[in-house]
Chain A
Amino acid sequence: MDVLGEGLLEAVRLLLTGAEDTWAITGLTLRVSLAATLIAFLLGVPAGAALALGRFRGRRVLLAVANTGMGMPPVVVGLFVTVLLWRGGPLGALGLLYTPTAMVVAQAAIATPVVVALTATALQQVDPDFLPQMRGLGATRARALGALLREARLPLLAAGMAGFGAVVSEVGAAQMVGGNLAGETRVLTTAAVLATSRGQFALAIAFGLVLLAIAFTVNLVVTLAQQRHAVRR
């Protein structure tokens, strides 16, 4: 049990002093995961809207694909991205493997299906008459769609938070495409795994607690914004 207490003290020490490169590692974790979430959001919301509102063949199959993608193991995504980015792979000339950019790509691939599937669900829960009514009131299609997205903003934010939660906590893809290089691609999850394999358990727990703290902070900010809107309605 002392290792848990030590881990807690260690986490406080790391956050206060920035020892073990904690600030740099935390900063990179936030940058990579937020960038990946943003990309996933920008790709996933339109795609989810198309799946929710569109009328085309294969729509339900695509929805099922997105729903499956929500459970896609990060290590599988990491493996695909790694093989694509290998020097001898199709995108090897870009030289992206073992860089933060590669991690953003892999994490965006993990988060996008989450955002797509949750966006589709969110939009389908809005009253099906909403769009025809808006059009009937004289709104252009774009305005009607904008109003629909505003109507569903709470679950859409939740979709973004779910995507962020999926990527900030994953270790498989980050390890594989990033390589856990000190000072370059080491994020909180891979740092925790390395500390564990070095037998530095208090340090590993400390990294885990720092991760929890930043995930909580990000979600707190978004939730506060979300609920302020909720109250205004």
Chain B
Amino acid sequence: MLLGRVLAAVAVLVTAVACGGEEAGSPPEDRTLILATTTSTQDSGLLDELLPVFTEQTGWHVKPLAVGSGQAIELGRRGEADVLLVHSPEAEEKFVAEGTAGDRRLVMHNDFVLVGPERDPAGIRGATAADAMSRIAESGAGFVSRGDESGTHAREQQLWEANGITPAGDWYRSTGQGMGATLRVAGETAAYTLTDRATYLTQRDSLALDVLAEGDRALLNIYHVIEMTTRAGDRVQTDGAAAFADWIVGERAQTIIGEFASDGETLFVPDAGKDEATLGN
């Protein structure tokens, strides 16, 4: 009998909470779009500069999800994001070929750099990316990988592959974390890592890591904006996707990107409308 009362009380509470929850949950806000992007755009602070201006100019409110490029593409594929700003060109091309994505446009680039301890045990200073990777593998000096299917991780894997190296062993560690955390591990363990220049520059003061190899075409880090379509999911807001994509390749956003700097060094080069093949020349 007591149990009956208790169960009844539970039932009433569950119902109350369930109904209350529905009332409290506001309906999807009008004109809010979901942008899936990479940790580098958030960790460098670029998004903080761009999004308020976008909202002010278009009225679209943005929910930015800063994840690895792999996860960002997966969110797009499932129709959980309206627009993507990512830097994993090979994966992007495959994804666009699947047919759920719409327009893919060039936005900006910076570059990847190989960083490591100042004493440079593998002797990669000034080497090409390919040479540097094979010297690191041969010397067995430590290398820290993102290991998270991000754009940076994808590029790192391409660099190993191009050299016919399968990275494995004590010298190769995978953090599965973002760029900031991975730089930290590399710095604390005096190991090498591949990083985008923007994240490195914003954090270098607290890192015991130097840029050792840079300026190679194989290290270009190119960002594209990809609009999703309703082929990915019924609730994709194609008008929001188009608004964001059009805006970020437009004059105002490109100016903000070009002027965005840390300690006086610009971090990204705006590239809207350029031919991708000419980048880095």
A residues contacting B by CB (< 8 A) are 39, 42-43, 46-47, 49-50, 53-56, 86-88, 92, 94-96, 98-99, 101, 105, 131, 141-142, 145, 179-182, 184, 194, 196-199, 201
Contacts and interface: CB of A to CB of B under 8 A. Distances in A.
B10 A43 contact: yes
Interface size range on B against A? 35 or more
Interface string B166-210: 000000000001111101100000000000000000110111000
Interface stretch (B26-34, B154-162, B266-274): B26-34
Nearest to B66: A180
Contact of A199 (B6, B29, B180): B180
B3 A98 contact: no
Given A88-B233, A101-B26, A199-B206, 18 more contacts: A42-B13, A43-B17, A50-B3, A54-B6, A87-B79, A88-B78, A88-B79, A94-B25, A95-B29, A96-B25, A98-B34, A98-B63, A99-B25, A179-B65, A198-B202, A199-B183, A199-B202, A199-B203
A86 B78 contact: yes
Interface string B69-109: 00000000011100000000000000000000000000000
B277 interface: no
Closest 4 CB pairs of A and B: A95-B28, A199-B203, A197-B180, A87-B235
Given A179-B63, A198-B180, A199-B180, A141 B6 contact: no
A101 B21 CA distance: 8
Contact of A142 (B5, B10, B26, B206): B5
A141 B25 contact: no
A181 B21 CA distance: 21
Given A197-B43, A201-B206, A53 B3 contact: yes
B21 A105 contact: yes
B7 interface: yes
25 contacts: A43-B13, A43-B14, A50-B3, A53-B3, A54-B2, A56-B3, A86-B80, A87-B234, A88-B233, A88-B235, A95-B26, A95-B27, A99-B25, A105-B21, A142-B5, A145-B5, A184-B63, A194-B42, A197-B39, A197-B180, A198-B180, A198-B202, A199-B184, A199-B203, A201-B206
A201 B80 CA distance: 32
